[in-house]
Chain A
């Protein structure tokens, strides 16, 4: 009678797997099994002595469908478990997956759909409100000095490239300046550095020397001759009050900050696919915010015109002149979502409604 030592003679009921020792790239076929918190690896070439590792010392990767699972061993070796060793892979990975919330989310379609809904919600909210709130929060941190520096740089660049000295009557310039500064003292006395620069559009082929006025972040308001020629002094004051609204609300810096945020989000979502598409989407969204900023400046203008004691018809008359010009020149027929300004009809209605 031969006494049989169970452990020595009976082969461990293991699963076939592949083992690399980390010192050469030779693949070794092995048998693996998990027993009482211990991972046992039996090499065919060894004399049947299994290597043993505590299950909590080995590091299984994330499980992917249709790909074997690598398990990093503390001695630098790697075990690859495919379908044949699925029970071992499941036993090892179950522990590790508990520590990987992101992996657990992407493992279930229900969680992924919830994530997708949350993602769309987050992007839409960021576009509608979040970017604005973030910009407002960041605006407090940006000192006015930065606005001034940006405005000065922008003025130099625009002046060099687009503008020529104004040919407007000097006396009228003085009058307009005095009235605007008086108005500012009444409605926004806290603002510093507000000034008007008179220019005409360089080499403007059209008859008008720039039918526009714009504000820079440092408080500089640029009035172009074309607009000055077309409007009466009262109407001009209304337009300048609108530009003063942009300065008072720091729209220049705010839109820059919001632009950064929108570009970052568009880049994160779409940048992988195409930088051009991401930039395009971000730009369209900044237009939407630009229209909101214009409405804010319009409201400021309405308040200022009322404080000045001017009749509200002055504003309506400005918009009628804008509308007439748009009719003549074209360019007013942009779809609303592609425009940086609200439709003139809407502004006219707002002026008439007050």
Chain B
């Protein structure tokens, strides 16, 4: 019974992708991207931040965050985001970040409240759990879109802001499946669902997730704008499946490398004594997770950048992600070792090194030289109409 349900799952995915169901749901069709002629001008993003400067910001941020029991974390986030934006340049012009800390604070308070509610919901009763899940399905997508809007509307380049305005219906169509995939395990556990259904839900999540992630990226990138120039996004769902499949294989390889290594370690440490207690299992688990992550994540992040930016364009501009999995992999391994060797003090330097590589591998292509590409701002009236009361309320940042 697992086989057909998995096939059925991808069948629905297929339908949503280009079938009548998509029109039914009112999801904007993907605009096919004509094969682009080779661009005459290309410009790399440039990152000028130095680890020693970020280190100083990081230390102060951390101290104030702990000393204020976390309240300062919102201000810390703004300082961090501003520093990274101001050190990122395109065509010689810097980005800037203008977010207001109190909105981040409010967003975090709401997120923490929702998560606490969620983690105890099914302990109260199954029906209360379902009610909280329903709340998640309503509020979650709006919060997500709000966070996206917050991030973009507070980012500027060459004197103009970016923006994000997705139709509410699309926000729900894209986000609710993700909420359900995230919660299905807990819900089934609470209702004591076992066996075939659990396997079916697992498979559906496994095969549905790349699709859902692709849809999310599509929504993020096709409803963004710079000034009044809209971003557009092509087809990339198939690439997401390839990306996830390869990352899964790499994760498996990483885990396979870690397990015999740990066995060896256990042999030497145990000295032939009886098997150690549960904490050894927990430690092994943590090491396996870390090894898996170290092997699979760099490839995943690099390929994701290539796929997502390769499908994105903005007016006359096209983008290219040039990040290489192997280069990022080497960078992440070395930086992780340095962080571990310094009890975490090297982290700001590592964060800057990784950010530099990720930022500088994004290329903007255009037919005209970048300074000549014009973008007028959105007229004042239109801007105000877009920001209704609900949008303002949910224009919070929930991300960490």
Inter-chain contact B273/A80, CB cutoff 8 Å: no
The chain B residue sitting closest to A102, CB to CB, is B60
Residues on A lying within 8 angstroms of B by beta carbon are: 18, 20-27, 61-62, 64-68, 70, 77-78, 80, 102-103, 105-107, 109, 111-112, 115-116, 118-119, 122-123, 126, 153, 264-265, 268-274, 276-277, 279-280, 283, 287, 329-331, 333-334, 338, 340
Chain B residues whose C-beta falls within 8 Å of the C-beta of A272 in the assembled complex: 347, 351
Does B82 contact A61, Cβ atoms closer than 8 Å? Answer: yes
A200 → B minimal CB distance (Å): 19
Check if A68 sits within 8 Å of B67, measured CB to CB: no
The minimal Cβ–Cβ distance linking A206 to chain B, given in whole angstroms, is 10
A residues less than 8 Å from B1 (CB atoms):
none
- Verify if B93 is at the interface (C-beta below 8 Å from A): yes
Contact between chains at B82 and A62 (CB < 8 Å): yes
Asked whether A268 lies within 8 Å of B344 as measured between CB atoms, the reply is no
Contacts of A66 in B (CB 8 A): 48, 50, 87
Cβ contacts A to B, 16 pairs, < 8 Å? A20-B160, A25-B159, A27-B158, A65-B50, A77-B159, A107-B56, A112-B55, A116-B63, A268-B65, A268-B70, A269-B344, A270-B347, A274-B336, A276-B290, A283-B282, A334-B279
Chain B residue nearest to A64 in the complex (CB): B86
Taking the closest CB of chain B, its distance from the CB of A227, in whole angstroms, is 17
CB-CB under 8 A from B274, the residues of chain A are 329-331
Taking CB atoms, residues of chain B closer than 8 Å to A118 are 63
Is the CB of B194 closer than 8 A to any CB of chain A?
Answer: no
Q: Say whether, besides A22-B377, A27-B371, A115 and B63 are in contact (CB < 8 Å).
A: yes
| CB of A41, distance to nearest CB on chain B (Å) | 13
Instruction: State the CA gap A155–B70 with chains docked (Å).
Output: 34
Contact with A along B91-124 (1 / 0, CB 8 A): 0011010000000000000000000000000010
A153→B282 CA distance, assembly (Å): 23
Does A22 lie within 8 Å of B70, measured CB to CB? no
**What are the residues of chain B within 8 A of A269 when measuring CB–CB?**
62, 66, 344
Number of interface residues of B (CB under 8 A): 59
Residue B200 CB within 8 A of the other chain: no
The B interface is mostly helix, strand or loop, or mixed, namely: helix
Q: Which residue of chain A lies nearest to B276 when distances are taken between CB atoms in the complex?
A: A331
Q: A64-B87, A331-B274 are in contact. Are A24 and B376 (CB under 8 A)?
A: yes
Q: Which residues of B contact A277 (CB under 8 A)?
A: 290, 340, 344
With beta carbons under 8 angstroms apart, the residue of A64, A122, A287 that contacts B83 is A64
Considering the complex of A and B, which 8 residue pairs feature the smallest CB-CB distances, nearest first? A20-B159, A330-B274, A25-B158, A106-B56, A330-B273, A106-B60, A119-B63, A112-B56
Q: A65-B53, A122-B67 are in contact. Are A334 and B94 (CB under 8 A)?
A: no
Q: A66 to B79, alpha carbons, bound, how many Å?
A: 17
Against A, the Cβ 8 Å flags (1 = close, 0 = not) of B258-295 are: 00000000000000011111010011001001100100
A21 touching B56, Cβ below 8 Å: no
Per the bound structure, the CA–CA distance linking A118 and B93 in Å amounts to 37
What is the CB-to-nearest-CB distance from A280 to chain B, in angstroms, rounded to a whole number? 5
B359 part of interface (Cβ distance < 8 Å)? no
Which chain A residue has the least Cβ–Cβ distance from B372? A26
B243 sits at the interface (CB 8 A): no
- Assess the B48–A67 pair: CB atoms within 8 A: yes
> In the bound complex, what is the Cα–Cα distance between A269 and B73 (angstroms)?
11
Which residues of B sit under 8 angstroms from A116, Cβ to Cβ?
A: 59, 63
Interface flag for B337 (CB, 8 Å): no
* A residues in contact with B49, CB < 8 Å: 64, 67
Given the complex, which residues of B lie within 8 Å of A78, measured CB to CB? Answer: 96, 156, 159
B3 interfacial by beta-carbon distance below 8 Å: no
- Asked if B374 lies at the interface with its beta carbon under 8 angstroms from chain A, I say yes
Give the shortest distance, in Å, between B117 (CB) and chain A (any CB).
16
Complex CA gap A122/B293 in Å reads: 31
* 15 other A-B residue contacts (CB within 8 Å) besides A21-B159, A66-B87: A22-B159, A24-B159, A24-B376, A25-B374, A27-B158, A67-B49, A77-B159, A78-B156, A102-B64, A102-B79, A268-B62, A268-B66, A271-B400, A274-B336, A276-B289
Given the complex of chains A and B, what is the CA–CA distance between A104 and B57 in angstroms? Answer: 10
A64 to chain B: which residues have CB within 8 Å?
Answer: 49, 53, 83, 86-87
A residues near B282, Cβ cutoff 8 Å: 283
Q: Is the pair B123, A153 in contact by a Cβ cutoff of 8 Å?
A: yes
A273 touches B339 (CB 8 A): yes
B227 at the interface (CB under 8 A from A): yes
The CA of A64 and the CA of B350, in the complex, are separated in Å by 19
